[in-house]
Amino acid sequence: AQTVTQSQPEMSVQEAETVTLSCTYDTSENNYYLFWYKQPPSRQMILVIRQEAYKQQNATENRFSVNFQKAAKSFSLKISDSQLGDTAMYFCAFMKPDNAGNMLTFGGGTRLMVKP
């Protein structure tokens, strides 16, 4: 079974600064997908960024980028120019395409506080 570990339960960053959230995972699979989801106080889950394991290029979405290290099984999220609206829980997730529904496995989450 796959496991996803987020080693930072809580983090804080000053507005406009850069912060990196860590995520490691354990799998024997070669083909899989990784995701970062944001859950603000409204508790709506929002997709931040997605990475296909077969792609070597790191995914980017505006101020959000990942550092995907496949050999090290690491998938960190970098948030540049942090904004107050980035305050949320962030979940790293793993998905292995299979015939069992392609379910997501979530990490424990990192609570990020952006300070003015």
Partner 1 sequence: GAVVSQHPSRVICKSGTSVKIECRSLDFQATTMFWYRQFPKQSLMLMATSNEGSKATYEQGVEKDKFLINHASLTLSTLTVTSAHPEDSSFYICSAREPARYGYTFGSGTRLTVV
Contact 15, 82 (CB under 8 A): yes
Say how far apart CA 40 and CA 116 lie, in whole Å.
17
Q: Does 95 bind partner 1 (CB under 8 A)?
A: yes
Q: Least Å distance between CB 16 and partner 1?
A: 27
Q: How far is CA 48 from CA 27, 55, 98, in A?
A: 22, 18, 23
Say how far apart CA 21 and CA 7 lie, in whole Å.
9
Question: Which helix (H) or strand (E) segment is 4 a member of?
Answer: strand 3-5
Say how far apart CA 19 and CA 43 lie, in whole Å.
22
Q: Does 84 bind partner 1 (CB under 8 A)?
A: no
Helix (H/G/I), strand (E/B), else coil: 28: coil
Q: Does 103 bind partner 1 (CB under 8 A)?
A: yes
Q: Does 40 bind partner 1 (CB under 8 A)?
A: no
Closer residue to partner 1 (CB): 44 or 57 = 44
Q: Least Å distance between CB 30 and partner 1?
A: 15
Q: Does 36 bind partner 1 (CB under 8 A)?
A: no
* One of 3, 7, 69, 102 touching partner 1 (CB under 8 A): 102
* One of 42, 56, 57, 62 touching partner 1 (CB under 8 A): 42
Contact residues for partner 1, defined by CB under 8 A: 33, 35, 37, 42-47, 50, 52, 91, 95, 97, 100-104, 106-109, 111
